[in-house]
Chain A
Amino acid sequence: MVTKLSKKSIFFLVSLLILSLLPIAIHDNRHLMHLLILCFIWGVVAASWDLILGYARIFSFGQIGFFGLGGYTSAMLTLQLGVSPWLGILAGGGVALATGLLIALPCLRLRGMYVGMATFAVHLVLPLLARAGRPIGTGGSWGLHSIAPLYVGGYTFSSLELVPWYYVALGMFALFLFVIYKVINSTIGLAFMALRDSEPLAKNLGINEYKFTLIVFAISAFIPGIMGAFYVHYMGVVGPEIFSLANFLLAFVMLMLGGTAVFPGAVIGAFPIIFLNDALFPLLGFRLVVLGAIVVGVMIGLPRGLMEIPEAINRLMARRTSKKMTPLPETNQEE
């Protein structure tokens, strides 16, 4: 069967091809390999966040919570019960999904920033529970270490040889981006975009708000859960810091830099941010100041992120010719 490929899928396949050939050239540069693996992991996390925050416009700030929950679940299962890391990763996704649904239930009755605060509060509570959870094996403040690496057949991955990790990360990256792309362009994606754009109209057309909100919560919790579990096996350690605001900010700035609700945007935002974050390492604590400033600056200057740059240039050119217009105030009748 011959199918016509769109511009987007050609772009996707070509970048995938380049990324999969890259280790031939750079496999000796372990630092660069490590950064690219992080790009794949965080790119997927940011893209799954975009699904709920950008496309469905539900203020879910629990994304890093799901990421960490997936990580802790897999680490605890492999350490305590000797489960295979692959099953652990799946279980991590499962626990994140279940938690996502649990959080979605009260959020069904809320809107706007109420959802944002409720999910953000969950995010703030999780590190406390991880610290207090020593009796159930979270390792308390110290976290867990010597978490089993992945293995395929008789071959066990090690932190000395990053090429296998790279390909597994790339595989997950490609798979989940494809899934997210498909979701956005499916009837599910259409349904929650319709709910975002005009809720009363969408409901009148027979779109079940509860069902689609639950679906979007489930998908956008499952994917970071899986990636978090993979991340933990890759790093070999997990601690309450996985829920830190630093991680939250990292994914947040990727999404905002890349732009919300412009599909490959969030993923594209991940690459410069991972490299910037690495380059800023000597600044220590002030690293996050820079990332926070980027969020604020991008939102004020380019509210739809990097993907908006061509449009912004046009706007600037147009402004030169016309006089600056004063904005009209907007109605105040929300909620």
Chain B
Amino acid sequence: MTFSLAASLLLTATILGAIYLLMALGLTLVYGVTRVFNFAQGSFYVWAGYIALVLYKSFQLDWGLVIAITLGSMFGIGLLYERAIIYPLRRFAEWRWTAIIVTLGAALFLDSLATGLFGVKARLLPRIFEGVFEYGAISLTHHDLVILLTAVAVMIIINLFLGRTRTGMAMRGVAQDEIGANIVGIPINRMYGYSFAIAALLAGVSAVLLIPRLPLFPAMGWVIFVKAFVVLIFGGMGSIKGAVIAAFILAIMEVFATSFLGAVWSLPVCLIVLVIVLVFRPKGLFGVW
């Protein structure tokens, strides 16, 4: 293996890891605030991708508008999703059990709707920025650089949002103790809505960034979703540090498995990691919950 091959594989792994991290962040945010595990996170990714595709290809908008409209509509979809299917469930005593079933049902609904409307053909978007950096043996496209910078920026923004703003702190309050948060006057319903909306927004960011590199098809959501989930389990639920480390370890394993064993092995490798982690350390690397 030459140095440049190893470098480019590592670089690809870093980029994939960044995307998995964003998706995992969406899952963990929803789980933290509402204790609902949202099976539809992958479907959010798929829908964001198709919204962007339609805006770019059919309406021929330019990238800035495409991104703005996609992200805006994902935020709306997240709010609507919570209102339409999570909120009405909460009148039942054992609603968290039902919610797992319902989000899985909603995921299958959204996926098949995407399949029905857009077909199963894999599609790509052009890169947001063309051009390549060359530094010795390493080359990095501008688009990949944007992915990395955006991922880092999003992580920082989410961190600041949760740590510094009133809404963010209110969300953390709900995550810690829902009844207590309710007593001190935090609007719980709104916080539930925000957590799903932000999760959908993160799926939107991931989709817009990744679809120029990895083709989009309706089942793609599950591929990304399973990897985000493995990142969460591996890193430990509730730990950002764990998720970052896990995302990169997993992405490196995946990239090397894909280039030396074949693309079929990328998902089985994830599964093997999942089983090993679950058997030997179910809490993950730095698990809190």
Contacts and interface: CB of A to CB of B under 8 A. Distances in A.
Contact of B112 (A129, A256, A285, A335): A285
A129 B182 contact: no
A295 B85 CA distance: 11
B264 A289 contact: no
B90 A327 contact: yes
B177 A332 contact: yes
A284 interface: yes
Contacts of B282: 109-110, 114
A300 B98 CA distance: 9
Given A132-B264, A286-B112, A300-B89, A292 B233 contact: no
Interface residues of A, number: 50
B102 A299 contact: yes
B196 to A, nearest CB: 15
A113 B268 contact: no
Contacts of B93: 330
B135 interface: no
Q: Report the contact-size class of chain B (Cβ under 8 Å from the partner).
A: 35 or more
Q: Is the interface of A mostly helix, strand, loop or mixed?
A: helix
B283 to A, nearest CB: 10
Contact of A292 (B112, B226, B278, B279): B112
Contacts of B179: 329, 331-332
B1 to A, nearest CB: 24
Nearest to A299: B102
A256 B105 contact: yes
A125 B271 contact: yes
B105 A113 contact: no
B35 interface: yes
16 contacts: A114-B233, A114-B278, A114-B282, A121-B229, A124-B226, A245-B112, A288-B108, A288-B115, A295-B104, A295-B108, A296-B85, A299-B102, A303-B92, A303-B98, A330-B178, A332-B177
Interface of A: 57, 59, 61, 105-107, 109-110, 112-114, 116-118, 120-122, 124-125, 128-129, 131-132, 245, 248-249, 252-253, 256, 284-289, 291-293, 295-296, 299-300, 303, 327, 329-332, 334-335
Given A114-B282, A332-B178, 14 more contacts: A116-B37, A249-B112, A285-B116, A295-B102, A295-B104, A295-B105, A296-B85, A299-B98, A303-B92, A329-B178, A329-B179, A332-B177, A332-B179, A335-B289
